Chain A
Amino acid sequence: MKKFINDPKNFVPEMLKGLALANPDTLKYVPEYNLIHRADAPNADKVTIIQGSGSGHEPAHVMTVGKGMLDAACPGDIFAAPPVDYVYETTKLLASPKGVLLLVNNYTGDRMAFEMAQEMARADGIRVEMLFIDDDVAVEDSLYTIGRRGVAGNFFVMKAVGAAAEAGADLDEIIRIGEKVNSVTRTMGVALTACTPPAKGSPLFDLGPDEIEIGIGIHGEPGRRRGKLVSADEIVDDILGAVITDLPFTSGDRVALMVNGLGGTPISELYLLYGLAHEKLVSASITVGRNYVGEYCTSLDMAGASITLVKLDEEIESLLAAPAEIPIRVF
């Protein structure tokens, strides 16, 4: 393992400290709960939006805290849901009279921690609702899982509810918007290499030099199937095809197209993938209304990418286009 680390146990706190020091005017850091929050939160005139999740997906979610997006993020350790206390204390610290919305990527641990924290916060009289994000098309059989996973498409839910909250929408309206965006967002990813969690010190799984993992999750958990490394064209056909047929997206649709890097793939390759995906959509008579290329939701140092489509309507498109001020400006 070659990484810039001191003690693996301090990996997340040291990253968060750096983030806070780099954004002294806009962000505040509460080390006790891995909490990064807007310096001007809570705001009594707007609903508070909080995301949790594990670390290792940066910029998601701590670097999407800012005006027009999240009010706070309180991540757990690398790939681990936050402890109940982080979510509960964050909710208490940042509660607004207009209410609190907890955004939760749909995983077993996150669901349990947020449900427990929600129950505790409600017992204190705080109005707090939860919204689950599950955009990953790779998980097919829900009998054997708690359902689809939340992956890179979570960016669009955060962006839309953040914009609505900034404009003063009430909690019910924000939940309606969030559920709507989630329901028209689909993602599929592919890994070229495994990632190396700092505490483990070695790759999370074995992937041969000519192998790829199709339908990869964002924690290195395996995906739909393992395949041979083929051309970029064939890979885009495969994963974009899975995304298109899932909703399904059909000719005449207007979409947002995101090519998201998983942490270890250069921007050049992401733009190469973007070009291929864009042209394939155009030839399927699907219009790309908004475009996103870069790292939005990563898996540490994993080489790989995911493709997300969001079916746009006027409301969603205007929320995605609304201004936001976050540490990474990638929208």
Chain B
Amino acid sequence: MKTRSIIDTEFVVRSIAETAIENEDAFCKLDSVVGDGDFGYSLARGFEKVLDEWDVFDRTDSSIFLKSIAHTITSRIGGTSGPLWGTAFLRASTAVRGRDEVGGADVVAMLRAAIEGIKDRGKSDVGDKTLLDALVPATDALEVAVAQGSSFEKALDEAAKAAREAADATSSLQARRGRASYTGERSIGSPDAGAVAVAVILERLTIQSRDR
């Protein structure tokens, strides 16, 4: 029988996958302003593979489940998204290795591990105009809410709001990584597609978790 944690993890991963697939065109449009327009396409094709293989992933615990997801993402998604998102899922899985139950503090630890993985793999940091610019403030907000004893739905809502605000603020940044970086100062004025994707994912998760 599935544990509560596995059910929660499945819910989050499936929601991320569905968001990526539903927003393919919107994410491509964002990426083509200063990037090369393939972000939405790469992400959607990759998460389609995750859903295709959904039933065969190992569900022994949340960590092992996330590790299998990471393998599919890393090995099947091209562009920058495969290595970055794959590394994020892999590090998140490592953060809860061997744990039967995953609580709010564990989710924060998983996100922190994912952030470090993205920084290592992409040799990037906050301020480079990447998904980190939304993921880091969202994690900060989630951590505060969890520490205050908020419900998970409430904490998620705070994280989504922080992500949206931070993603919008990437408009004023000059890109330092990825294809957008070649545009120099012209990358200023439009938000980073990866940062917006983080906000959209968290917003959808918030709405769906209320309806569960």
Contacts and interface: CB of A to CB of B under 8 A. Distances in A.
Report whether chain A binds chain B: yes
Interface of A: 9, 54, 76-86, 88, 107-109, 112-113, 116, 138-139, 141, 143-146, 149, 197, 199-200, 204-205, 217, 219-223
B34 interface: yes
A109 B176 contact: no
B41 A108 contact: no
B42 to A, nearest CB: 5
Contacts of B182: 138-139, 145, 149, 217, 221-223
A146 B77 CA distance: 21
Given A80-B78, A83-B75, 13 more contacts: A54-B78, A77-B38, A78-B38, A80-B42, A85-B74, A108-B80, A144-B176, A199-B28, A204-B37, A217-B36, A221-B34, A221-B36, A221-B180
A82 B174 CA distance: 27
Given A84-B75, A113-B78, A144 B175 contact: yes
A84 B184 contact: no
Interface in B63-99: 74-84, 86
B104 interface: no
B174 A112 contact: no
A107 B35 CA distance: 12
A204 B75 CA distance: 27
B9 to A, nearest CB: 23
Contact of A108 (B75, B179, B184): B179
A222 B41 contact: no
A113 B84 CA distance: 10
B35, B42, B82, B178 interface centre (most CB from chain A within 10 Å): B82
Contact of A144 (B34, B45, B75, B184): B184
Q: Which of B32, B79, B80 has the most CB of A within 10 A?
A: B79
Contacts of B35: 221
A268 to B, nearest CB: 29
Contacts of A107: 179
B52 to A, nearest CB: 13
Contacts of A112: 80, 83-84, 121-122
> By CB atoms of chain A within 10 A, which of B42, B81, B175 has the most?
B42
Given A54-B78, A84-B75, A109-B79, A79 B36 contact: yes
Contact of A145 (B42, B121, B181, B186): B181
B82 A197 contact: no
Contacts of B172: none
Nearest to B83: A112
B182 to A, nearest CB: 5
A200 B28 contact: yes
B177 interface: yes
Interface in B168-204: 174-184, 186
B212 interface: no
B38, B74, B183: most-surrounded residue (chain A CB, <10 A)? B38
B121 to A, nearest CB: 6
A85 B76 contact: yes
17 contacts: A77-B42, A77-B79, A78-B38, A81-B79, A82-B78, A109-B178, A113-B82, A139-B182, A144-B184, A145-B181, A199-B41, A200-B28, A200-B37, A204-B37, A205-B32, A221-B179, A222-B34
Nearest to A223: B182
B2 interface: no
B75 A222 contact: no
B177 A146 contact: yes
B161 to A, nearest CB: 29
Contacts of B176: 143-145
